[in-house]
Amino acid sequence: MSFFQQTLRLEPTDRFTIEDCLDHVSFQTERLLNRGSQVPIKHIDAHNTSKKRKSDISDHVNRLEQSFYALQLLGIG
């Protein structure tokens, strides 16, 4: 079951406890920080890149910037 399914169960005794929630992989700071380093980095020749690909790259950069900003707000970055 997903994290949300476990936390939203109708029967209180079946729901995740606070400890279960904090132990969930979504809240493990070290994993979140290291997750970015597991993504392979590719060098891109901007001169040979299509407009669509440039747009995709721009979208990825924007998402990364948002992630770093969120980590800074949480005091992690």
Verify that 37 and 1 share a domain, yes or no.
yes
List alpha helices for the chain, DSSP H: 3-7, 18-23, 29-35, 51-73
Q: How much is the pTM? A: 0.35
What lies within 8 Å, CB to CB, of 31 at 6+ separation is: 25
What lies within 8 Å, CB to CB, of 24 at 6+ separation is: 3, 16
pLDDT tens profile 8-26: 999 989 999 888 888 887 7
| Residue % of the chain over a pLDDT of 70 | 66
Count of the separate structural domains present in the chain: 2
Verify that 53 and 19 share a domain, yes or no.
no
Q: What is the mean pLDDT of residues 16-44?
A: 70
Q: Which domain holds residue 1?
A: 1-41
CB-based contact 57:44 (threshold 8 Å): yes
Verify that 1 and 12 share a domain, yes or no.
yes
Confidence check: pLDDT of 47 > 80: no
